[in-house]
A = this chain, B = another copy of it.
Amino acid sequence: MSKSTNPTRQRILDAAVERFANNGYHDTSVADIVDDSGTSKGAVYFHFPSKQDIFLGLVDHFATILEDRLSEAIAQEESGVRRVNVALSVCLETFAAYKKLAKIFLIQATGLGTVFEEKRREIHKRFIDVIQRHLDEAVQEGDLLTIDTEIAAYAWMGAINEVVIEWVYTGHPEPARALPALQNILLRSIGVSEEQIQQLDPNANK
């Protein structure tokens, strides 16, 4: 972030992303990262305090990127429903733009034991809260039905994650197809009418 442009440090990070994304945390040894980055253990432990720190740093980094992009995009829209909709787009775009980091964030950061798990849940909770807040907003001002926005927020989060995970692994539901499909499904799920859904996405008539 701040001292980001040190080449050695960057090579280490690149190698770490690659390894962590492909093999997971425990199947990636520091020696692997050293080999892939063409550096040395000394270099790694000069730039980073621990293996765990590298990993959590990557997760945090991605979460920050996603949050920044989201808040920026949301701020540019007026109505609640439009905001919800644009957030969904930005979300998928960001996952697509940072595929490897997304894989680490969504998959490799799970099931790593209590310490990691707390961190992961805290970050996920932040996103879920954002979703819920904007769902509430949309409910208040809009004509969509009153629903259990908390559960809806969890459902959305899970739905998005699952679709992205599948894409990350197989490349299969191409974003061009997944995005409109998810928009339909998720907007409908909170009671946005068909006409409204049509209106929201005039450019996706491809």
Q: Which residues of A contact B (CB under 8 A)?
A: 22-27, 107-114, 117, 121, 147-148, 150-152, 154-163, 165-166, 169, 173, 177-178, 181-182, 184-186, 188-191
What are 18 A-B interface contacts by the 8 Å CB criterion?
Answer: A24-B117, A26-B112, A107-B111, A107-B117, A147-B184, A148-B177, A151-B182, A154-B166, A155-B160, A155-B162, A155-B182, A157-B162, A158-B160, A158-B162, A158-B165, A186-B189, A188-B188, A189-B189
Docked CA distance A161–B124 (Å): 14
Residues of B within 8 A of A110 (CB): 107, 110-111
Q: Report how many copies the assembly holds.
A: 2
Docked CA distance A152–B182 (Å): 8
Residues of B within 8 A of A188 (CB): 188-191
Docked CA distance A178–B154 (Å): 11
Tell me the minimal C-beta distance from A81 to chain B in angstroms. 15
Residues of B within 8 A of A22 (CB): 114
Residues of B within 8 A of A191 (CB): 188
Contact of A162 among B25, B154, B163 (CB under 8 A): B154
